[in-house]
Each structure stands twice: as structure tokens, then as C-alpha cells.
Amino acid sequence: MNTVSLIFLPDEKTIRIAIDSWSKMIENIDKKSYVSVAIFVAETNYTISGKAGVAVERILKS
């Protein structure tokens, strides 16, 4: 299991996540694009499964 820094939902079918550069998640998504995201809120948890892709591999500071 990996921890993400930020979750953003631009629309009802898309989840965007921000992760640290040392995470192996990008490598794993490149190898196998099917993923699950578990969300824990209070005493409830949700799991969302689907296909993933890398939108931006690294954001550089200017």
C-alpha cells in the first residue's frame, strides 16, 4: 500500500493523485495499469477500482 499526498477529482470519472518522487507507484502503473484506491473516512472506507495512467511524471519548479 502507498500513501498519496493529494487527491483531486476534476470530474465524476477522474481521480488525480500527487505522490512523492521516490514512490514506485509510477513504475507499477506503467507495468500494470489496473489499480485500486482505498479511502478511509471516519468509520467508513471506500475502494475505487479502475484503469490508471500517468498524466505528468514530474513537475519541475521554475
In this prediction, residue 23 has a pLDDT band, given cuts at 50, 70 and 90, of: confident
| Average pLDDT for 15-41 | 85
| Average pLDDT for 21-47 | 87
pLDDT at 25: 84
**Inter-CA distances, 61 with 4, 41, 55, 58, Å:** 20, 32, 17, 10
Give the HSE-up count for residue 53: Cα atoms under 13 Å, Cβ half-sphere. 2
Sketch the domain layout of the chain as residue ranges. 6-51
pLDDT at 60: 66
Give tens-digit pLDDT for 48-60: 999 998 887 676 6
The DSSP bridge partners found for residue 38 are 47
